[in-house]
Amino acid sequence: MPRRIRVVSLQGTGGGDVDTYFDRIIKYIPADVVGAWVAATGVISSQADVTRMTWWLAFAVGIFAAAAWTWKQTNQPGKPVAIIQILVATAAFVVWVFALGGPFAVEEWYKPYLGSLVLIAFTLLVGLIVPKE
């Protein structure tokens, strides 16, 4: 399955159907980058002298990786950059990190239930976003 969200299906091209609500949810969530984040947090957490800055720096790298990786996977010759999909996938990475704790967990105001609620709402609503191309 190509990673780019399909919103147009041309007859006679064999291009397949447009992506449904559930297809868009799957394509918007950068599971590979979230998986890398989970592995990275395991490494970071295993260290005795982890600073707040370490967490936030790793998070910034993850944001960049989510955007770059989504751009790489959605880039198709002759088509415009999938800006909406890149932005939504990057936001999805932020939401997943928020739900998992990460750098937010070192902040006083953070409560794990907030991350869970945001993740539920985001996942249910993100499939409603249909990019123009």
**Model confidence pLDDT, tens digit, residues 99-128:** 999 999 999 999 999 999 999 999 999 999
**pLDDT above 80: residue 1:** no
Task: Report d(CA 67, CA 26) in Å as an integer.
Answer: 16
Mean pLDDT for the chain overall: 91
**pLDDT above 60: residue 131:** yes
- Residue 11, helix vs strand vs coil: coil
Q: Torsions phi, psi of 80, nearest 5?
A: -70, 160
**pLDDT above 70: residue 9:** no
101 within 8 A of 110, measured Cβ to Cβ:
yes
Q: Cα–Cα–Cα angle for 102, 108, 109, nearest 5°?
A: 90
Q: Which amino acid is at 58?
A: A
Percent of the chain scoring above 90 in pLDDT? 75
pLDDT tens digits along 35-90:
999 999 999 999 988 899 999 999 999 999 999 999 999 998 988 999 999 999 99
pLDDT tens digits along 20-33:
999 999 999 999 99
**pLDDT above 60: residue 15:** no
